[in-house]
Amino acid sequence: MAGKRHFILERALKEIKDGMNVNLGIGMPTLIADRIPEDVHVMLQSENGLLGIGAYPKEGEADPDLINAGKETVTVVPGASYFDSAESFAMIRGGHIDLAILGGMEVSEEGDLANWMIPGKMIKGMGGAMDLVQGAGRTIVIMDHVNKHGESKVKKRCSLPLTGQGVVDCLITDLAVFQFKDDEMRLVEIQPGATLHEVQNKTEADFLIDDGLTSYQ
């Protein structure tokens, strides 16, 4: 899993451009903070009221007052600012977040996202994902291609409650990269170690194959 996660994170990192304001969702997306190159200047935003998140703190340097939306201790970069959650969501809803990178439970061929709850399981709340998928300039979803039972998480229709309809711009899994545009789901890249045959077999959704498909076979 560690190797597969590496490919997901490294590919997601390519979506982050210098000068962006970026929100990293809870879970795997937060690991991207440690991978951003020093010459790429971005401001990472967290719904709980922080703009300018840095890397995870080294041992013994954690400040319990500095946390991200997942309640993990973080550091801040020069120029960081703190504010209440109302101000934070005003940034998101006002269109001031260029890119949101979120985890996913299911993504449909129409770009629908389900990532906030599984019926019957206890949840703390819906978090900020519903606002982010509507307010951010682009939404990137990163997740495993199949669940622990080997079932595809890339669906014709999501079976779980939706976070948003038609909100996904790019899906990055351990097997492939898909782009969503003009009501089409298009396979644009195959991850290292995967094959087109494997992607087709493990994807429930119908998708087109891009003419410029990049494959590492």
- pLDDT, one tens digit per residue, over 130-140 is 999 999 999 99
The domain tally of the chain equals: 1
Tell me the longest C-alpha to C-alpha distance in the chain: 51
Q: Of the ranges 8-12, 177-181, 193-197, 211-215, which one carries the lowest mean pLDDT score?
A: 211-215
CA 175/CA 158 separation, integer angstroms: 19
> Residue 23 belongs to a domain with what CATH number?
3.40.1080.10
pLDDT at 126 > cutoff 70: no
Query: Which pLDDT band, with edges at 50, 70 and 90, does 122 fall under?
Result: low
pLDDT of residue 43: 97
Domain that holds residue 7: 2-214
Could you tell me which of 66, 10, 16 has the C-alpha nearest to residue 41? 16
What's the rounded mean pLDDT across residues 78-86? 94
Beta bridge partners of 100: 23, 139
What's the rounded mean pLDDT across residues 112-129? 80
pLDDT of residue 215: 67
Could you tell me which of 31, 46, 126 has the C-alpha nearest to residue 82? 46
pLDDT of residue 217: 47
Q: How much is the pTM?
A: 0.94
pLDDT of residue 216: 55
Query: Which pLDDT band, with edges at 50, 70 and 90, does 81 fall under?
Result: very high
Supply 175's token pair: 């097997």
Q: Which of 10, 15, 38, 47 is catalytic?
A: 47
- pLDDT, one tens digit per residue, over 27-68 is 899 999 999 998 999 999 999 999 999 999 999 999 999 999
**Mean pLDDT for all residues in the chain:** 93
47 as an active site residue: the answer is yes
- Is 97 within 8 Å of 22 (Cβ atoms)? yes
CA 173/CA 89 separation, integer angstroms: 28
